[in-house]
């Protein structure tokens, strides 16, 4: 037997139950205790009679005394009844296979992770329960597994872009989110809005080296982090780890050299036909332009003999170190044998191929927004890589998101109080970003830097392919809130079904035995295990249905928060589009514009009106 402790709320309920039972029993007992027979009782019983006997002034004392006794007997009886219930509950045997159940209304109201219909605490919209929005308010990460055409954009990405009040970075592969929500976030929310698509001329600029000041004491460390992001060697072994590490050192060497030449040797940059722009593309230009043998030579044979002298005489101690370290790293690379140098060069150039594209180079030579201000100001960045460019954009996506998290973790909001806003990363098609080792390694404390991640993938096998079996498990364990749509993969369905839990079902069996002409009958009770939600049931969820798994709480069965048929969201779009307002009004002639069930135009028609997209270029 397993004893259970009652909560203060349960004790309060028991007290209320005893009071009600006491009055109910006493209201019956007062009749026979005053000589009223059964027949008369059935015809004259009134619940209020007990109160009249106790409090009316014209009642005889003996009758009133019998009423008091009936209350006493009623109290004793109610205590016995309540005590029996407590004993039965407290000594109840635990279920053999589990007692999983969905969250009730009371469970959701008590939840510390989710609010129900309450906007005051903010949070990330994750669903709708009985007509009210569910928001996840805990600082932890959220994950969602959803196949293609499952409505993840319409049910979680766009709703949050229309409701999240603080900074957000969204991976927007089709630029659909930008075209639907950017004007609202710009005009109504008053945010600075940016579109980053470095494969297009209509883009804002992002230059990673803008965030690295080599004159600062931490600049070299930031550069090392950038090199590790581009040529990650963490978790790798063998030749891949070796050449990634070597390529990173080459990058650091040429980046430091570029910094020195911009500050002390622009004449030589002009001779190399390299622009004095501190960007990754320019580092690549310098790599191609500089003759390593001449650069490393001493005396008159050196291409830039006066640079060392100039830095030695006019540069500070840090600049002298940077030049010395740059030349050492370039020399280390130059001294490699032909085969290892060729492999290192191949690894180095492969990661930087995108920086040879004219549009990409133009977008990454400048910087139009400051990632360091994400928690200080309210801004929205749409990373709108078109589908036809996604196949070559994986390295850039990986660089951007890893770097954005890295930059955001330079200042701890506990000590830098001007970092007051949360930042939401909406990572639709999360596997397209590639391995984000920051999330896998540091999910436990990233949330403490006011960074919230909502990662969306199609199936778990995508994550296993990128992170490996254990890596994917570690990654998902850092997402204590999981939103589940209809599941198409059997393995995923089995895992989600197990995580939702099991219940114990009981069945009664009857048996009949014949023995020497006599018949004996018996009954037996059997317990069996049943999943709260069977794997096949996960595969047949209706389009509007979803489950929410929460750490330490009962799962929630609810509906998706689809924006396109919800006045809460559509009114926000109508607020920035007069044409959409007129169209909605014409579709609902004769209907109240505030009631539920309004008709709205389809997404394609809304986009064709051309009034939902912010005019940025």
Does 578 fall in a domain? no
C-alpha torsion sign, points 18, 23, 26, 27: negative
Q: What is the pTM of this model?
A: 0.82
Does 575 fall in a domain? no
Burial of residue 384 (number of CB atoms within 10 Å: 0-12, 13-18, 19+):
buried
C-alpha torsion sign, points 576, 582, 588, 589: positive
Enumerate the β-bridge partners of residue 522: 511
Q: Answer yes or no: is pLDDT of 567 > 70.
A: yes
Does 597 fall in a domain? no
Confidence of residue 403 (pLDDT cuts 50, 70, 90): very high
Lowest-confidence region among 163-177, 247-261, 324-338, 387-401: 387-401
Max mean pLDDT range (19-33, 95-109, 490-504, 546-560): 546-560
DSSP run (H or E) holding 531? strand 518-531
Enumerate the β-bridge partners of residue 502: 531
Residue 461 makes CB contacts below 8 A (sequence gap 6+) with 489, 491, 492
**Residue 56 structural domain:** 8-90
Residue 150 makes CB contacts below 8 A (sequence gap 6+) with 485, 486, 543
Confidence of residue 517 (pLDDT cuts 50, 70, 90): low
Of 387 and 239, the structure prediction assigns the larger pLDDT to 239
How far apart are alpha carbons 353 and 393 in whole angstroms? 11
Does 567 fall in a domain? no
Shared domain for 192 and 230, answered yes or no, is no
Shared domain for 182 and 230, answered yes or no, is no
Averaged over 404-423, what is the pLDDT?
92
Confidence of residue 532 (pLDDT cuts 50, 70, 90): confident
Does 291 fall in a domain? yes
Residue ending a domain, choose from 360, 395, 411: 360
Confidence of residue 294 (pLDDT cuts 50, 70, 90): confident
How far apart are alpha carbons 55 and 40 in whole angstroms? 23
Lowest-confidence region among 96-100, 306-310, 315-319, 459-463: 96-100
CATH number, domain at 132?
3.40.50.300
Shared domain for 194 and 315, answered yes or no, is no
Does 602 fall in a domain? no
Average pLDDT, the chain: 88
Number of domains in the chain: 3
How far apart are alpha carbons 286 and 262 in whole angstroms? 11
Averaged over 554-559, what is the pLDDT?
95
Does 570 fall in a domain? no
How far apart are alpha carbons 84 and 82 in whole angstroms? 5
Q: Answer yes or no: is pLDDT of 536 > 70.
A: yes
Of 39 and 443, the structure prediction assigns the larger pLDDT to 39
Confidence of residue 524 (pLDDT cuts 50, 70, 90): low
Does 481 fall in a domain? yes
3-state class (DSSP) for residue 21: helix
Q: What are phi and psi of 338, to 5 degrees?
A: -55, -45
Structure tokens at 26: 């006493």
DSSP per residue, 201-259: SS-----GGGG--TTSTTHHHHHHHHHHHHT--TT--HHHHHHHHHHHHHHHHHHHHHH
Averaged over 574-583, what is the pLDDT?
95
């Amino acid at each position: 037997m397993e004893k259970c402790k009652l909560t203060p709320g349960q004790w309060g309920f028991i007290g209320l139950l005893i009071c009600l039972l006491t009055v109910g029993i006493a209201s019956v007992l007062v009749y026979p205790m005053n000589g009223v027979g059964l027949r008369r009782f059935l015809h004259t019983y009134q619940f209020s009679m007990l109160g009249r006997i106790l409090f009316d002034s014209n009642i005889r004392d003996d009758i009133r005394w019998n009423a008091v006794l009936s209350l006493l007997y009623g109290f004793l009886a109610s205590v016995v009844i309540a005590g029996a219930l407590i004993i039965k509950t407290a000594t109840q045997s635990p279920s053999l296979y589990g007692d999983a159940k969905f969250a009730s209304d009371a469970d959701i109201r008590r939840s510390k992770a989710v609010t129900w219909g309450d906007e005051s605490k903010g949070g990330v919209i994750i669903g709708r329960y009985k007509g009210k929005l569910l928001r996840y308010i805990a600082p932890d990460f959220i994950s969602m597994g959803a196949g293609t055409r499952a409505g993840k954009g319409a049910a979680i990405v766009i709703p949050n872009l229309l409701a999240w009040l603080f900074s957000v970075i969204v991976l927007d592969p089709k630029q659909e989110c930008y075209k639907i929500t950017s004007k609202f976030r710009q005009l109504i929310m008053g945010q600075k809005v940016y579109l980053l698509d470095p494969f297009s001329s209509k883009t804002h600029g992002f230059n990673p080296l803008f965030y690295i000041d080599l004159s600062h004491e931490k600049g070299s460390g930031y550069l090392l982090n950038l090199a590790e992001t581009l040529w990650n060697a963490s978790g790798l072994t063998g030749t891949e780890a070796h050449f990634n590490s070597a390529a990173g050192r080459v990058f650091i060497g040429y980046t430091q050299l570029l910094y020195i030449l911009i500050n002390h040797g622009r004449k030589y940059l002009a001779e190399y036909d390299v622009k004095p722009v501190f960007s990754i593309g320019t580092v690549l230009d310098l790599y191609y332009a500089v003759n390593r043998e001449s650069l490393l030579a001493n005396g008159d044979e050196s291409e830039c003999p006066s640079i060392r002298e100039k830095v030695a005489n006019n540069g500070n101690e840090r600049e002298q170190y940077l030049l010395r370290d740059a030349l050492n790293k370039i020399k280390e690379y130059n001294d490699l044998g032909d085969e290892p140098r060729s492999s290192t060069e191949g690894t180095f150039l492969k990661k930087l191929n995108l920086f040879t594209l004219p549009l990409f180079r133009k977008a990454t030579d400048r910087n139009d927004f400051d990632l360091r201000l994400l928690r200080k100001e309210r801004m929205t960045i749409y990373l709108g890589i078109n589908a036809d460019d996604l196949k070559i954009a994986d390295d850039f996506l990986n660089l951007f998101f890893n770097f954005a998290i890295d930059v955001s973790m330079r200042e701890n909001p506990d000590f830098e109080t001007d970092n007051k806003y949360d930042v939401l990363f909406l990572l639709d098609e999360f596997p397209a970003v590639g391995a984000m080792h920051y999330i896998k390694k540091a999910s436990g404390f990233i949330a403490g830097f006011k960074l919230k991640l909502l990662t969306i993938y199609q199936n778990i096998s995508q994550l296993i392919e990128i992170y490996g079996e254990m890596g994917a498990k570690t990654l998902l364990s850092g997402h204590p809130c999981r939103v589940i749509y209809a599941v198409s993969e059997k393995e995923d369905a089995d895992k989600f079904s197990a995580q939702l839990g099991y219940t114990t079902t009981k069945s009664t069996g009857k048996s009949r035995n014949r023995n020497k002409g006599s018949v004996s009958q018996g009954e037996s009770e059997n317990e069996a295990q049943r999943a709260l939600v069977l794997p096949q049931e996960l595969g047949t969820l209706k389009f509007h249905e979803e489950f929410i798994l929460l750490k330490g709480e009962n799962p929630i069965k609810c509906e998706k928060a689809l924006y396109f048929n919800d006045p809460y969201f559509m009114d926000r779009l109508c607020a920035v589009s007069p044409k959409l307002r007129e169209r909605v009004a014409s579709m609902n002639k004769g209907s109240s514009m505030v009631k539920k069930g309004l008709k709205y135009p389809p997404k394609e028609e809304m986009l064709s009106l051309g009034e939902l997209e912010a005019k940025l270029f």
